[in-house]
Structure 1
Amino acid sequence: MTDLLRVLPHFPVGQYASLIPALEKHGLTTNDLLTLDAADIGKRTRLPLLDIKRLCSAVLASLHTELDAYSDAASSNAAAPSSSALRHTHASLAAHWHTISTLDPALDRALGGGIPAGHVTEITGESGAGKTQFLLTLLLAVQLPPPYGLGRPALYISTEAPLSTRRLSQMLAANPLFKSVDPADRPSLDNIMSTTTPDLESQDHILSFQAPVQIGRRNVGLLVLDSVAANYRAEFERTAAGPHQQHSSNMGARSAELVRLGMQLRDLARKHNLAVVVSNQVADRFGGSKTPASSFRRFDSPSLTQNQHQHQAGTQESPLAARSKGKPPTATPTAEPSSSMAHLLPRSSAADQRPSSSMKPPPPPFPAGECGGAPPAPPALLLDHQQRWFTGWGDDLSSADYALKTPSLGLVWSTQISARIALFKRPAYGMSRHSLDEDEEGHGMPTLRNWRRWMKVVFAPHAPASGDGVGDAVEFEVTMGGIRAAVKTAMEEEGEGQGEGGNGGQVGVKETGE
């Protein structure tokens, strides 16, 4: 009951002074008085049941009185600020909605205007996909006045390499937008504060004490944490090879720390109305020897048995899914089984399972030509089936153009962020002019010419998610001035249509690092 006066400051505590000590001893809160049954509270506290009912009724009546007074005050004063109203109007929400541009119209449209203030946004992707270039662009863009930025400085917290001031100077000199703005509003390296945190202890100290002071003193508009996974991998995965009990407690402690970090970042974003952007690493997702396209083989193939079909009908596995299943999943129909699908239901252990010559083998789950010959959908609650909608990889099961990845820190961290942006990269090959044999009629050996990159919105409250795969993702390139959407020529579009998933297209761009 230590929170009673905080929830209801005007509650007459003196009338129930004999009950409060027993409630505090057993750790009961105001929420418990409103939700638990009086008999259950009496069993725990050994207090008279009648006195407990009177206290619960008094708490409920006092709460109703507080809400009625709050509602009357809000309705009688129409000119009151938005904080005293029960609901925010569209005008008040629009007035507080600010975004940071990527300095490219196509990328901004995909992001719903840019990176929003007041939210935690994650940018994930493998090494070389362009995460650092994306973050450096935001560090400069936030200093621009609206509509490009917030006109405020930025804070950069690195857990790995220090801030690349040389690359920032290169962007300032090469991007034409920075040259077109007023010199007083032009971004500067002096408005970017940076620090390095090599371990979790220093990271927690910075986010708890140093960062709030600097944000409030200098009116920081962007907080960047690059990257969020480095310290947690170093601190909590060192004992992964130990006993199972030690590993479980280790992962439980990591989950608690991730929830605490999410609360810290969200509190900073909401209190100071700044944008929090974190970069995240990815891990390979292994699915055995089968490819994503193999899960679409037909059940009526004469070269495969029914057990082999069920084995290949499984989805992509990942290290995260090991805890979500015990036995290998069997084929599950897409609809609730009817009487004609009784062979799909689990049989009783008491049933006679002895083979008989008169027994006929059950028909396949789906006859040839039914449902397009596709395998049944995997169990809806299986993590292998669900993670493709919040990781960014694996939503297009028919495509094998890119390896499956999983963002680091698992599902616990995915629940702490507001938006996830995934960056993809794919090699673009061309033909070499040099041949190994001069008499050979071929034009040479294929060689790596460049890397193609895409930006995909996995989930966000302010922007629609991109489609499956990279079909609806925005292709971008890294240039001297930052990042920008790639412009394809007619020849490249034709080559992409003839190639498999765009591997034949060639894009010539200037690139710098990650």
Structure 2
Amino acid sequence: MNEDQPSVENGCVLWSNGMDLFKDAAERNNFLPTGLEGIDMLLGGGLRKGHLTEITGQSSSGKTQVCLYSASHVAARHMGVVLYLDTSNSFSPSRIAHIVDELPISLIKEPKDMRLKRVMSSIVCESVFDVFALFEVLDQLEASMNDKVNSGGNKICLLIIDSVSSLLAPIIGGKNSQGRSMMISVAMILKKLADKHNLSVLVTNHTVGGNGAPKPALGESWKAVPHVRLMISRDHGSNMYTATVLKHTLLASGRHMKFVVP
């Protein structure tokens, strides 16, 4: 076996020395952790800065859990501010509190009450219920990121949209070319923000039925947008999940890893 290639055991990807391909980049702070070990191992460190990562899956497959864990861990580890755009009232402060409470004291050395207060102050949640509101928020974000005063620990490092498909799917049905143009505009703004300001952008997307297995929504035009696309599924009746690579700049499709959501 080539030492720079992963092996598979019991359905899980196992890295040997190939993990070194990612470790150096992670040590240079090019990744933000999701806090879910299987996903972070699969992606070689977590959500890559400058990239747009999409989490897709069926209803109740764990997409929002990935978003909440990512927001919690990035904020808890003093990595910067998280902007969380909630499109379906799925953001849960109580779930954030539970996740933060589980963090080991060796990771975050501060009293739990102080930790939670700091984490919540570092996660900015805004409700966004249509694409026009999304454009407005993204325009404001770009203006604030261009402001030279916004720097250091107050800088937004992670942008989450849960879910982008609930905003875009209603405008791209039928022969509505204007809707598709708006979708592409959203994609261009998100990728520009990620690249110019070294953000990690994390979006969720639902799946649609078809001939065979469910596939990510929003069609072929959107398919080219994410740098990384993961399919999330949940083992029936358990807290065990599987993340499968559908698209990645470095990994072949089909690689997967189990992970647990406590």
Which bracket does the TM-score occupy, shorter chain normalised? 0.7 to 0.9
Bigger Rg over Cα: 1
TM alignment of 1:49-448, pairs within 5 A = 98-145=30-77, 151-173=79-101, 175-177=102-104, 180-183=107-110, 186=115, 188-208=119-139, 210-215=140-145, 217=150, 218-237=154-173, 247-248=174-175, 250=176, 252-285=177-210, 287=211, 316=212, 404-427=213-236
Letter in 1 for 2:142: P
TM alignment of 1:15-26, pairs within 5 A = none
Comparing both chains, which one has the higher relative contact order based on Cα–Cα distances under 8 Å and sequence gaps of 6 or more?
2
Name the structure 2 match of 1:42. Answer: none
Q: Map Cα deviations across residues 249-282 of structure 1 (whole Å, 9 max, x no partner).
A: x1x2222112111110011111211100001111
1:458 to partner: Cα distance: 1.5
Judge conservation of contact 2:58–2:233 (CA < 8 Å) in 1. Answer: yes
1:477 to partner: Cα distance: 2.3
Q: CA–CA distance in 1 between the matches of 2:188 and 2:29?
A: 21
Q: CA–CA distance in 1 between the matches of 2:69 and 2:75?
A: 11
Q: CA–CA distance in 2 between the matches of 1:94 and 1:131?
A: 23
Judge conservation of contact 2:51–2:227 (CA < 8 Å) in 1. Answer: yes
The 3-state SS of whatever aligns with 2:75 is coil
1:134 to partner: Cα distance: 0.5
Q: CA–CA distance in 2 between the matches of 1:220 and 1:232?
A: 24
TM alignment of 1:431-510, pairs within 5 A = 449-450=237-238, 452-462=240-250, 464-467=251-254, 472-479=255-262
Q: CA–CA distance in 2 between the matches of 1:189 and 1:144?
A: 9
1:97 to partner: Cα distance: 5.5
Task: Tell me the C-alpha RMSD between the 2 structures.
Answer: 2.6
Q: CA–CA distance in 1 between the matches of 2:41 and 2:242?
A: 14
Name the structure 1 match of 2:3. Answer: none
1:162 to partner: Cα distance: 5.0
Task: Give the TM-score normalised by structure 2.
Answer: 0.78
Unmatched 5+ stretches in structure 1: 1-92, 238-246, 288-315, 317-403, 428-448, 480-514
Name the structure 1 match of 2:15. Answer: none
Task: Give the TM-score normalised by structure 1.
Answer: 0.41
Size of the aligned set, in residue pairs, is 229
1:96 to partner: Cα distance: 6.4
Q: CA–CA distance in 2 between the matches of 1:409 and 1:163?
A: 23
Distance 1:234 1:475, change over 3 A: same
Q: CA–CA distance in 2 between the matches of 1:255 and 1:235?
A: 7
Q: CA–CA distance in 2 between the matches of 1:152 and 1:416?
A: 25
1:201 to partner: Cα distance: 1.2
Q: CA–CA distance in 2 between the matches of 1:97 and 1:450?
A: 33
Identity between Structure 1 and Structure 2 (%): 26
